[in-house]
Amino acid sequence: MTAVQLHKDGAHKDGALSGKAKIAGVMGWPISHSRSPRLHGFWLWQYGIDGAYVPLAVAPERAEQAIRALPALGFRGCNVTVPLKEIAFRTVDRLDEAARRMGAVNTIVVAEDGALEGGNTDGFGFLENLRAEQPEWTAESGPATVVGAGGAARAVVVALLDAGTPEVRLVNRTRARAEELAADLAAVGLDGGVSVVDWLSRETALDGAALLVNTTTQGMTGQPALDLPLSALPVSAVVNDIVYVPLETPLLAEARARGNPVAGGVGMLLHQARPGFKAWFGVEPQVTAELTRFVLEG
């Protein structure tokens, strides 16, 4: 590892933190796979900030205690990843609107009064990545088809509806999970614009769509490709896969080959980190090609 790599991995430029260092981190179980320390470490190095961003391996049964301890430990806040997002949702003192609608917290900020403020930036990251990769796309362009019914799908659907997408077609292998997600969204005021499409009829959900989003792990390295023929999808529709290992999934390769504009998934990871970094370290960070390469190398 070179000196530059070491700095970007989280060390302060002069090799040491001061007593006034700003501290944040990422909490999850397990946490060794997370690329967030590498991502935030790059920004800390780039902007010369006296601070650190550390991985916090916290088992679910200790998560509430650990979250509550953040102010006492001097943390500015932290990110929260699986399987602790719902626990964080129940633990923080205040929720922003995005977190309330998504039922999960991925970003915690310790307020000046010591209160824990919970937010969810997954939807922000999704939209920012989509707009950066395909600036011609707008939420009002037409219906969106979303494959999957987990936490990522919830974030994507909420973001699309809030941005003005007129219709979201939700497709999942297990219809009951998609119906449960639709019902949860209705319970928080998003009771219009979501329709559940049976898996056996999934091709019909592509007819006339302006956007297709895969929120499942299908197509990830080691997983089978997403079983979704694209013949009914307009060639003008944007195809987005939130999977980023590999960078070009089978879905994206097929879409690109038939002429659809595509957007990969790594940008969602990078953009969702921006609001937390600004809140903790006081700088609005930028997503660059150098950052992307560095994060993917780790």
Q: Which residues are catalytic?
A: 85
Binding site residue list for shikimate: 34-36, 81, 106, 122, 244, 272
Residue 292, token pair as written in the block: 């992307």
Alpha helices for 104-263 (secondary structure H) = 122-133, 151-163, 175-187, 250-258
Cα–Cα distances (Å) from 245 to 45, 219, 220, 234, 264, in that order, read 25, 9, 6, 26, 10
For the purposes of burial, counting CB atoms within 10 Å of the CB of 164, is it exposed (0-12), middle (13-18) or buried (19 or more)? exposed
Identify which of 63, 119, 61, 74 has the alpha carbon closest to the alpha carbon of residue 93: 119
Query: What distance in Å separates the CA atoms of residue 255 and residue 240, rounded to the nearest whole number?
Result: 9
| φ/ψ (deg, to 5) at 85 | -65, -40
Query: What distance in Å separates the CA atoms of residue 82 and residue 21, rounded to the nearest whole number?
Result: 27
How many CB atoms are closer than 10 A to CB 222?
A: 6
Query: What distance in Å separates the CA atoms of residue 19 and residue 85, rounded to the nearest whole number?
Result: 30
Give a three-class secondary structure readout of 74-137: CEEEEEECCCCHHHHHHHCCEECHHHHHHCCCCEEEECCCCCEEEECCHHHHHHHHHHHHCCCC
Query: What distance in Å separates the CA atoms of residue 16 and residue 89, rounded to the nearest whole number?
Result: 34
Binding site residue list for NADP(+): 97, 148-152, 172-177, 242, 265
